[in-house]
Amino acid sequence: MTSKTGGYITPRLHVPQEVWSQGGARLLNLPEKVRVVEVLCSSLEEVQHTSGAIFDTGNVSASLVAGIGKKDGELWSLKLEEFSNVCDGVVANFGKKLGVGEGFMIKKNSGVSLSRLFSRVAFLYNLLT
């Protein structure tokens, strides 16, 4: 970034120049963080692929209104459960190394709830930042 005032990453998101020019900032555990992102992206791509196949254009709300078959619903639920398991694995394998997640208990329930999945994603986001 060369501008003295910063720059826009998106039309609404401005990043001040000071963010990019902090002297002496250290990036800790960078290889582990990169690996976490790779694992999560790969798993999310599988969910996206399955969602696209089931919901045709990826419009989940329209497909839910029109109705999907039980088999498709079970397949999608299975993919979400697999993603949840990947999230659990990331926490188990990288949480301690990255200095977060101590005392975090993984609750095993039957089935996946979206609130559980979103809370897990929020935790992983905090793990990476």
How does strand 14-15 pair with strand 7-8?
Answer: antiparallel
Length, in residues, of the chain: 129
Find the domain containing 60 and state its range.
29-128
User: Does a structural domain hold residue 48?
Assistant: yes
Q: How far apart are CA 37 and CA 42, in angstroms?
A: 8
Query: What confidence tens digit (pLDDT) does each residue in 7-59 have?
Result: 888 888 888 888 777 777 777 888 998 999 999 999 999 998 888 887 775 45
Cα 51 → chain centroid: 16
Token pair belonging to 112: 């996946």
User: Does a structural domain hold residue 22?
Assistant: no
User: Does a structural domain hold residue 38?
Assistant: yes
Q: How many domains does the chain have?
A: 1
User: Does a structural domain hold residue 62?
Assistant: yes
Query: What confidence tens digit (pLDDT) does each residue in 67-126 have?
Result: 667 788 788 889 999 998 998 888 888 887 876 655 444 455 545 565 666 666 666 666
Q: How far apart are CA 42 and CA 32, in angstroms?
A: 15
